[in-house]
Structure 1
Amino acid sequence: YFLIHHQVFIMSSRFEGLNLAVLEAMASGCVVMGSTAMGVKELIEDNKDGFLFSVGAATELANIIATVLSNPSNYQALATAAREKVLVHYDKKQVTQAYYQLFQNLLTSC
């Protein structure tokens, strides 16, 4: 609920696992800017559904922020692509099916 009131989301972590905050921001329609930390870079396709910047590169991040904020309507397509990516690949039904298939494979290999 909180994220739907925002246009951008920044994840500047140095280390992450599977980042649910990034997925939530993408699902909420935010333009997502994330570091190239493991767990973040796997979720964002640079300039297609968000922006990636090098870990610790404050100037690089500042340039991305300035670019997006100078003309936010140009980047709405990225936010839309990110939302659709989450709905298709990280939907509860999709994840449940993937776990089911994993367990089936494990059981048949025993």
Structure 2
Amino acid sequence: MVLAKTKLFDSDLQNASMLYKAMGHPARLQILRYLAEIKVCITGDISEELPLSRTTVNQHLTELKKAGLIQGHVDGKRTNYCLNPEKVKELKKISEAFLHELVVDNFQCG
């Protein structure tokens, strides 16, 4: 049995990595920003807000949904998308804790 190399790291780092990977494209960051700005679920075509094709936007939405950062609820032929507040709060907490560990005061290199 081959152990995935990510399994060699603690669960906090694995979780943070998964969330950061989901945000690893400017389109996904723009989707998150847009959903945060409108503060409601959007029914319809988010691709109207991005300079990308509908298919490409749907692929980015899928990645954000897999990470749990957004929620999508089917309503007939349309999907309502909104932020997942609990997962966004978790992301903020993880990010703050991780960045707090990266102490660079009085850091000297070479």
What is the TM-score of this pair, normalised by structure 1? Answer: 0.33
TM-score by length of 2: 0.33
